[in-house]
Amino acid sequence: MREKAEDIQRILDDLYPETPIPLRHEDAYTLLVAVVLSAQCTDERVNQITPLLYKRADNPADMAKVPVDEIREIIKPCGLSPSKSKAISELSKIIIEKHGGQVPESFEELEALPGVGHKTASVVMSQAFGHPAFPVDTHIHRLAARWGLSSGKNVEQTERDLKAIFPEASWNKLHLQIIYFGRQYCPARGHKPEECPICSKYGV
């Protein structure tokens, strides 16, 4: 398994030496809001909507003053707008009241914010603060199973399996590499395993 993981990592490093963060953001707060918006929504759509939202408010103090209905109207194209607008409003208020206006830099405090689950907290910890984390979404979960790296029944188990076989220093980059690879070579539908650089070797 370790050899397979090293080989997969080599393939990903060759294909994606650079891993720009797909969600546009300026700081930890704008990244946090973008990740909340990205639930069941494409990164492209989020990147179209966040400039409109951040023109209205791009920090927790300003966002806390925007009526929830107004946030909901702006973010409607991202889907789930009633729950997401409420979460963005409430987490902004909590960041002001409990964290001095700064996005907290711990899993525990991030996951206590409305609308922020473990995966969202992992993205913020790794991409905003540089702490080792391995955010596993449904795409990474699917690819880990497809490549025989995890038989996890859920994203939590897959995250544990991937953390066990890949070095900690590679996690932050690796999760982005796997996402990019999945989009380009290893889609859920219409996948051609024989043309996929990893599935042609390791597909299950």
Q: Annotated active-site positions, please? A: 119, 137
Phi, psi of 148 (to 5 degrees): 70, 25
Alpha-carbon distance of 171 to 165, in angstroms, equals 10
Residue recorded with tokens 């955010």: 135
Phi-psi region of 115 (alpha: psi -120 to 50; beta: other; left: phi over 0): left
Write out the two tokens for 113. 């914010």
For residue 98, what are the CA distances in angstroms to 27, 90, 92, 103, 110? 19, 12, 10, 10, 12
For the chain, state the CA radius of gyration: 18
Q: What is the DSSP letter of 147?
A: T
3-class DSSP assignment, residue 135: coil
Alpha-carbon distance of 180 to 16, in angstroms, equals 8
Alpha-carbon distance of 32 to 15, in angstroms, equals 28
